[in-house]
Amino acid sequence: MEPRSQQEIIRENFDSLCKKVLKREAIDIQRRENRQGKREVAFSELTEQDFAKLAATDRYFTNEYVFSVLGESVAVADCELGEALNVIPADRRDIVLMSYFFDMTDKEIAERLNIARRTVAYKRTSTLKDLKKLLESEE
């Protein structure tokens, strides 16, 4: 029997190492797929209620009320609220919309409209009371 050369020994060791690594990687992939399969469900297996929870529906051309405030459009999707806001005077409506849709403080609104902060607070609270009365009377 002839002695093996150093290169053959290195080649065999490398070959053995590569086989072990590939075998180990195949086992890891299989385990990962099994774990993933336990967490995932095919769309075809979902009930309609579960599928509806995952779905998003675009609603175009719905009955929206669009108001212009500070050069920007504010859309109100609720019909009752939109009708009530439509009845309120424009200056008071703008204060409410800036407060709730633009998250502006009374001070910021006052600076924007060049009126006193206290006037903004008064108009906002009185308008909210009026809106409440209008919405309760519709029910």
Q: Is residue 68 part of a domain?
A: no
Tally of domains within the chain: 2
CATH for 133: 1.10.10.10
Q: Is residue 114 part of a domain?
A: yes
At 88, the amino acid letter reads: I
**pLDDT for residue 20 is more than 80:** yes
The region of weakest confidence among 3-7, 13-17, 53-57, 80-84 is 53-57
pLDDT, tens digit, for every residue of 31-41?
999 998 888 88
- Secondary structure class of 74 (helix, strand, coil): strand
Domain that holds residue 25: 1-38
Q: Is residue 90 part of a domain?
A: yes
pLDDT, tens digit, for every residue of 103-123?
999 999 999 999 999 999 999
- Secondary structure class of 110 (helix, strand, coil): helix
Cβ atoms 80, 65 nearer than 8 A: no
Whole-number mean pLDDT of the chain? 88
Q: How many other CB atoms are found less than 10 A from the CB of residue 74?
A: 19
Q: Is residue 72 part of a domain?
A: no
Q: Is residue 43 part of a domain?
A: no
Q: Is residue 131 part of a domain?
A: yes
